Amino acid sequence: MTRIATLMYVNEGSYEEYKRRHDTLWPEMKQLLKDSGVYDYSIFLNEENGELFAVLHVKDKKIYDNIAQDPVCQKWWEYMADIMQVNEDNSPKAIELKEMFYLK
């Protein structure tokens, strides 16, 4: 099991839309995440600056790292691109964080 934490950014004025889209997460995207070994996934918003803090657990990071090649994931990125800061391929601009402390 690996825990992954990242920072992403949602555009100002799009906070409610971001939440709405995740509240109605496509069944095929949800299944892709589960099939990729993702569980216990949370995303938190800093409303002052649009920063999103995501933390997720994956069973096997090597399998999870392949999710970006899946057409469902790419379609989701395209769907979200109008409300987030994204790269040229529509993937979210994200910074993976280094774990500094964990209390079990």
56 phi and psi angles, rounded to 5 deg: -145, 155
Largest pairwise CA distance in the chain: 38
What whole-number distance in Å separates Cα of residue 92 and Cα of residue 84?
Answer: 7
Out of 3, 19, 20, 22, which one is annotated catalytic? 22
Q: Is 22 one of the catalytic residues?
A: yes
What whole-number distance in Å separates Cα of residue 44 and Cα of residue 50?
Answer: 10
Active site residues: 22
